[in-house]
Structure formats: structure tokens, C-alpha cells
Amino acid sequence: MASSSFSLYPSLTLVAVLLLLFPVRQTAGSCYTSIFSFGDSITDTGNLLLSTGDNCLSGRLPYGETFFGRPTGRFSDGRLIIDFIAEAMGIPFLPPSLRLRGGDCGGFQRGVNFAVAGATVLNNGFFRERGLDVTWTNMSLGVQIGLFKKLISLCDTERKDTFSRSLFVVGEIGGNDYNHGFLQSWSVEEAKSLVPHVINTISTAINDLIDMGAKTLLVPGNFPVGCIAAFLTYYENSKIEDYNTSTGCINWLNEFSEYHNNILKLELNRLRYIHPHTTIIYADYFNAVMNIVSPANSTRHERVPLVACCGSGGGRYNYGKNISCGSENSTVCDDPPTYLSWDGMHFTEATYKAIAKGILEGPFADPSINKACSSSNIGYVVKELAINVSKAD
């Protein structure tokens, strides 16, 4: 595999240092003792790799090169947002659920990851009915929730106690529902017609998890799709009005992402109202990424490139459908931490680390995980104090 340094932007060493030196403070270990996660390739820690073997590009170098030194099935050069959250809580990296097939329940009490790369919220039949060529996994959000229900029936006889002190991460998911359509020439209007179906299905999954005992849920919104190299390549044109002059992102795609996110936030507010004893955290992935690419960010003295670090070796954004990162003729940059994008569809470890910091500590979560954790700890301490006082009486 060739190595290539791109000259589209000046040296970004300072940006790399800023991203990598973000301190991610560790959350109190007594707050969340496990994590259960659902989603797509943004969160997948190996499920697609386990199901496809060598046919999965994330099972080949340079995937995983920055942190693990080998491919793990993660679609990045290193750790994902979910990995940084687990590290901050003192929890081991989440095992992919397919590793627990056959009733192997080892480590279940510390959490499991059900996310699968390519997964959608809606099932594949929904897309076939609308004329899309379905080539992706059938592990939709509903299927993942179903597998979770099967696994807990086998592995957890004390789930009420386990789940009350667990963090449930529902997403990011929904991006692929729109991405698959956009990459098959859907209009914005067609994509918008999906949004109510996607949001309602996410809401149903959240309700199901609450009914099973979940007390704290983290629900991310969608990323700014207009800043992603694959879409910048697919919709590349000479219309200046399509692009944000400050960031280089495509305006109408980002506006669509915000449309989805605004409706999701409204639904989460409704769920908070009907589940007042449950903490539902909205993770603002959109603005966490825009904070990185925005020249207005005072911590950035160089422009963060939108070009993919690993890709086809050509084109404005180093992304090509026929030559993907990990394939024989792909190229990889020398300094992944200086890039926003890893392979044109997914981000670098440095980007994921910056996002995770904003989710754990703020300002890109409402409330931040650490604040939710502190509130949870207060409640836990008060409960223990009441028990001790009762015993003393």
C-alpha cells in the first residue's frame, strides 16, 4: 500500500497536537459500570468483521494502525468515540456482540456492542419498496435490539441492578438511512420523507430499552454530511453557492443533517417528559465536528483538511468509489492526526477523541455524560445513606 502526503493544505502539526492532547477526564467508576451500544460503523468494534471475515476492508491495514497497530474491525485508524467513553469510565473496550454467540456470556456485565457497520434504523424491506438497490447489512436497529433481548435472557439474571447503572448508547444511527439514498441520487425531499420513520423507530428502540430497565441513555444526532469526503466527491460541482466559504462543506447536505437532528431533539424532549426518572442525553455530533472544521475556533491555527487521509490517491478529496482505503492501490497519509477524515466516510481517531471530549465534558451533550454521572452518583449516595440510617434505627 502506497504512502502519500497531500499538499492541499500547509503543515498541520499544531492541529495534531491540539487534538491528541485533549485531556479526557475519567468519570467516577461507581457511576456507570457497563455500556450497551447500538449503531452503525461509527460505533462498530468488530461485528461486521466477524460476520464477513476478509471481505471487510476494516479487517486490513492501515485500519487500526494508529492505536492498535493492527485492524480490529473499527472503521478508523484507531479508537472510536465509544472507546474513549469506555476508557473515561474505566470500562474495557466493548466486545462486539457476535463474539458472544453460542451463549458465551463472559464479560456481559461490563457491556456489549451491537453496532454493525452499514446498519440502518429502518429494515431493508423498507428501502427495497422505495426502489433502492440494497447491498448493505440487514442488521437494522430493530434487529440489534432483538439480539440484545435474546442475549439478556441468556446472560443476565440480575438485569434490573445491572441496567440501572449502565449507559445505553443508541447511535449514531440513521445516517445510513439517508446516505444510501443520497448515494443513489435521492433528492432532499425524498430523504426528508424518511425522517419521521427514522425518528419514530429510534424512539421505539429507546422506549423498549427503558421498559427493560435502562436509566441513562445517550442518543447522538447525525454528523454534518456536507463535510464528509465521500459526499464532497459525489456532489462535487462548480456552484459556489453550494459550498460554505469558511469550511468548504456543502451547505444543503449540512442543512439536511440539522433537519434530522432538530426533529430528533424534539422527540427526545417528548420522551424525557413521559419518562421523568430516566436521563436521556442528546449528543451533538454535528456541532462537535463543525467546531473542528470551523476557522472561527480559536484553538485552530491551521485549516483542518476535508480530504481523506486514506483513499484512492487522487481527486480533490482523495476518495474514489472503486479504490477504497485498505484496497491494494489505496494510499495513506503520513500524519492521520492532522486530518478530519480517515477513509472518506469515517473520521480519524484524533477527530473521534475530540468529539468524545465534548460529549463527556461538554459543551456537545445535553447534559454532558460527566454531569449526568455526577447527578447519578448523588442519587446513589443519598440512597446508600438512607439505607444506612434505616439500619441504624
What are the φ/ψ torsions at residue 216 (nearest 5 degrees)?
-135, 125
Host domain of residue 210: 2-21+29-392
Q: Which residues are catalytic?
A: 41, 343, 346
Question: What integer pLDDT is reported at residue 11 of this predicted model?
Answer: 35
Tens digits of residue pLDDT in 310-321? 998 888 999 987
Residue 109, pLDDT > 80, answer: no
What's the rounded mean pLDDT across residues 47-60? Answer: 87
Cell of 55: 471481505
The model's confidence at residue 391, banded by pLDDT at 50, 70 and 90, is: very low
- Report the range of poorest mean pLDDT among 36-45, 178-187, 379-388: 379-388
The model's confidence at residue 160, banded by pLDDT at 50, 70 and 90, is: low
End-to-end distance of the chain based on CA atoms, in angstroms? 71
CATH number at residue 298: 3.40.50
Total domains in the chain come to 1
What's the rounded mean pLDDT across residues 143-172? Answer: 84
Task: Report the percentage of the chain scoring pLDDT > 70.
Answer: 82
Residue 375, pLDDT > 80, answer: no
Residue 245, pLDDT > 80, answer: yes
Residue 105 near residue 29 (C-beta atoms within 8 A): no
What's the rounded mean pLDDT across residues 146-166? Answer: 79
What's the rounded mean pLDDT across residues 160-174? Answer: 89
Question: What integer pLDDT is reported at residue 106 of this predicted model?
Answer: 62
Q: CA separation (Å) from 33 to 90, 106, 160, 213, 273?
A: 8, 15, 13, 15, 26
In 3D, which of 327, 306, 323 has the Cα closest to residue 314? 323
Tens digits of residue pLDDT in 12-34? 443 343 344 444 555 434 589 99
Residue 37, pLDDT > 90, answer: yes
Tens digits of residue pLDDT in 341-364? 999 999 999 999 999 999 998 899
CA pair distance 246, 293, nearest whole angstrom: 9
Give the mean pLDDT of the chain: 84
Q: CA separation (Å) from 292 to 130, 219, 221, 245, 297?
A: 36, 21, 17, 15, 7
Question: What integer pLDDT is reported at residue 92 of this predicted model?
Answer: 93
The model's confidence at residue 154, banded by pLDDT at 50, 70 and 90, is: confident
Tens digits of residue pLDDT in 251-265? 999 999 999 999 999
Question: What integer pLDDT is reported at residue 49 of this predicted model?
Answer: 94
